[in-house]
Structure 1
Amino acid sequence: MQEANEIDEDSELDINEYKDENQVIINTHERVNLDLNGTIEKLESGYVESKLVTIPEMVADDLGLVHGGFIFSAADFAAMVAVNEKNVVLVASECQFLSPVKFGDVVYFKAKVRHKEGRKRNVNVTGYVLDIKVFEGEFKTVVTERHVLKLKLLDTEKED
Structure 2
Amino acid sequence: MDIQTHHGIDQALCGEPLEIRDGYSRVRLICGENMAADTSGLIHGGFLFGLADYAAMLAVNHPNVVLGAAETKFLKPSRIGDELIAIAREEAPDGKKRMVHVDVHCGDECVFTGTFTCFVPSRHVLDGK
RMSD between aligned residues? 1.0
Runs of 4+ in 1 over 2 A off after TM superposition: none
* 2:80 corresponding residue in structure 1: 103
Return the structure number with greater strand share.
2
Letter of the 1:30 partner, please give it.
H
1:120 aligns with 2:97: yes
Greater relative contact order (CA < 8 Å, ≥ 6 in sequence)? 2
Structure 2: gaps spanning 5 or more residues: none
CA distance in 2, matches of 1:149, 1:73: 20
* Pair 1:36 & 2:13 matched: yes
What TM-score, normalized by structure 2, do the two folds share? 0.97
Aligned length: 129
Superposition TM-score, scaled by structure 1 size: 0.79
Unaligned runs of 5+ in 1: 1-23, 153-160
Written as runs of structure 1 = structure 2, the 5 A alignment for 1:8-157 is 24-150=1-127
Q: Which of these two proteins has the greater Rg computed from alpha carbons?
A: 1
